[in-house]
Each structure stands twice: as structure tokens, then as C-alpha cells.
Structure 1
């Protein structure tokens, strides 16, 4: 699966707050990945297909420095990532072992990976920031991943931040964190979200001009008609 440029551009103009509202209206409540905070303030909104990575609790015979050379390793997973994907790592919320450091993040950046998202933490923060790879996580820890986690596979269904994420689900992430859009719902969600953003921009402008909230947000029949008239006028001017 690949995201077309039109879909990417549409979602780049939609906040994760709007997406959670639209998905809620479609019956999906658990779509916001807990613990995914921007490592660097001011990171731009990123859109991409999920490339999933799965960790389990560390087991002494498996979680060793030697495991980094295994065919089933984070290193091998990185080399399998397509350009434009978003790496989504299930670190089980562990915050005392950094899953990726500066060298791995540098390689992610070189491969054209759009962002790294995890409910865990990273290490070598100064170096990670220097790569300019957008990262959302719970912070930093000095110990390596094998101090607390065992990497087991990639491109499998995972639970990240308490949310089910499947390979090729669509991820949108901004200052409010990461949201997953199930692949089968993308077209409907994009259309509804773009329209919701236009409505909310009009509502915000009305509030800025002194309008009170009752009957405006959410809009009653009168304000819906006013908004539709505004949209018709805007389309005619385009």
C-alpha cells in the first residue's frame, strides 16, 4: 500500500484533535497513542504509513549486545523500511531503556523514514536531535534497549501507547501526539476531516468576532445555514 500525495497533503492540514473527533463519530474511541510526545518542540505535523516494530520484556538469553547482529534485529528492521513510512515501536511503555540512539536514528533519516514514534524512550538525545529525524516518545534514558527489552519482529500488529496499530495503518502526528487511522477508513476520514477543519476555522472566526457559543458550537440550523452560505460564496470565489 502507498499513500497518494493528495491524501498526504490533505492530512497535513488536519490536526490530530480533529481526527480524534471524526474517528469518534465513526465509533473509534481508542486511536490516540499515549506517551507519544514530541522530543523537540515545534516539530511539524507528519503523515505516513505505519511500519511497526515490536519489543517484549527482556529475557537474559535473548536481550544481549550480540542480538544486535541477529537477522531479527532493529538494524535489520530499519533496512526493510520504505521511504516515507513512520516507524511505530511498541516498547510496552518502558522508560528506562532507550530503544534507538543517534546512529540508528541517523540511518532512519538517511533511508527517508518520515518519523519515529514510540511509547518508550530514546538514548543519545543530543545526537538524535542532531539527525533532524522527527521523534515522538516519552523522553530519554541512557541504558540500551537490551537492558529492559527484547526486539522480536517488525511489520506485525502491535499495541503502542495502548492502541492497536497494524502495518500500513495511517499515522498522523503533531504537537498533540499520534493518531492512527485504520487503513480501510482513510478515504472517509480524510473527506470528513477536511470539511471539519473548514467548519472549525469558520467557527473560530465567529468566536473571534464576538459570537457566543450556544447555538454556534455545535451549530444549530440557523448557523449551519450561515456556514453553508459562506462555503458556497467561498467556492464561487475560487
Structure 2
């Protein structure tokens, strides 16, 4: 499958469903703790991770002059490809805003799909005004150099306690952001729609008055009923 086809599949899958399918494969730590949408979310964001990393501030490095360094958030943004989701390791620091409105506006111009961080944002009104979808742990007025030192991009990071590697698939919606390891993307794309269809069928059964035991999770009888219902729906289409 092409990236376009895979992205379309994942846009139809909730992060809840994705975490369930990954759990069945033994992956428990895939949901990033902290990042929540700063704006109303009415769609799902899917893209490959473009990683950025901060470490604790060190006075000789975390200065306003560092913003002009070749190793800066500004330089990293200029390296972001169209459609990427920027994932920023800010170590959960909540008193120094990693990005503000100007940097977010540039990300929009670069075609970045969304920004996810376990840190916080600044200039929040301006950030929201750029239209960039942002998932963060909150907002703060001080700039990043008040508490953080930027050290690089496109390397393995931790965001919200989750390991993120460049080009892992990121999916974000109202429930937050999850990572699908890049080597599992095609497999999850094949299997997760079945889980989503099953849960939709279960919800229909619940609305019809069915009791939960044997339905959720489904026993053999209900699995057979689901498969029959699905086959009938396919024939009708």
C-alpha cells in the first residue's frame, strides 16, 4: 500500500481502536501522556513523525542567541517535509513554551500536518490563529530558553513517556496521540479496520438492548453473528 492509502485507512480509525490492536500485539506504551488538543478537534491527524528534542537548560547554551544557531528550532522547522507531524520531546517541562505563533505560522507554510509535545506552548492566541493543529500539555508565557536547551532533530526521542522514532506513524484525535511503530504500520492498517467494524457492530447491538456478557468481548456465537452481518452488508454493496 502507498502512504496515501495507509493514511486514509488510519484517518478512519480512532486512537482507541489503534491502542487496542497494538495491545493485542503486546505493545502497551503507545499513548503519549500529556499532549491534548489546544483547539476543538473535529478530525483525525495522521502523518510520519518528525522528531525534535530538548534537554534541561544550561546557561551557556539556553540563550536568546541560540535561536540563530544552525542547531536551532528554526533550522529544524526548515527541514520538516510536507505532511509530517512534529513530535517534540520537552521532558514534560511546563514553565517554558517550546514554540510560539511565529514558529507555528512557519510550520503551516511548510505544510506540517500537526504538532505534538509533552511540553507547553506560548503566544497561545496567536498559535491558535495560525490554524496549526497542536496537542500539548498546556501553555506558558516564558520562552523555551527559560527552562530548556534544544539539541537536535530526527533522532529517537521520548514524548509523554513513549519512545518515538523518526518516520513512526502518528495518529492524533480527541483522545490524544498514539504512535504506530513504522515496521508495524502495514500490519495494523490491515487488521485495525476489522476491530473498528466489530466495535461498531457491538454498539449497534447495545443500542438494540443486548446485554454485555458474551457480547463485549464477543463469544463464539456473537463473533459468528458479526461475521454473518458483515458478509450480508458486503453483498448488499
TM-score, scaled to structure 2: 0.98
> Using the alignment, how far apart are the partners of 1:90 and 1:174 within structure 2?
19
1:70 is aligned to 2:69: yes
> Using the alignment, how far apart are the partners of 2:211 and 2:74 within structure 1?
55
Give 1:43 shift: 4.5
| Cα deviation 1:70-104 (Å, max 9, x = unaligned) | 00000000000000000000000000000000000
The answer for the alignment partner of 2:116 in structure 1 is 117
| Cα deviation 1:102-136 (Å, max 9, x = unaligned) | 00000001110000000000000000000000000
Give 1:190 shift: 1.3
> Using the alignment, how far apart are the partners of 1:193 and 1:228 within structure 2?
15
Unmatched segments (≥5 aa) in structure 2: none
SS at match of 2:121: coil
> Using the alignment, how far apart are the partners of 1:43 and 1:63 within structure 2?
37
Give 1:4 shift: 1.4
The answer for the alignment partner of 1:42 in structure 2 is 41
> Using the alignment, how far apart are the partners of 1:115 and 1:103 within structure 2?
15
Deviant stretches of 4+, over 6 Å: none
Does structure 2 conserve the Cα–Cα contact (< 8 Å) formed by 1:97 and 1:145?
yes
Matches for 1:146-225 after TM superposition, within 5 Å: 146-225=145-224
CA RMSD of the aligned region, Å?
Answer: 1.0
Change (3 A) 1:176 1:3: farther
> Using the alignment, how far apart are the partners of 1:43 and 1:216 within structure 2?
30
The answer for the alignment partner of 1:79 in structure 2 is 78
1:104 is aligned to 2:103: yes
Does structure 2 conserve the Cα–Cα contact (< 8 Å) formed by 1:3 and 1:49?
no
Give 1:235 shift: 1.0
TM-score, scaled to structure 1: 0.98
> Using the alignment, how far apart are the partners of 2:27 and 2:156 within structure 1?
17
> Using the alignment, how far apart are the partners of 1:43 and 1:210 within structure 2?
29
> Using the alignment, how far apart are the partners of 2:110 and 2:40 within structure 1?
23
Change (3 A) 1:38 1:178: same
Unmatched segments (≥5 aa) in structure 1: none
> Using the alignment, how far apart are the partners of 2:112 and 2:42 within structure 1?
15
Does structure 2 conserve the Cα–Cα contact (< 8 Å) formed by 1:43 and 1:134?
no
> Using the alignment, how far apart are the partners of 1:43 and 1:75 within structure 2?
29
Count of residue pairs brought into register by the alignment: 237
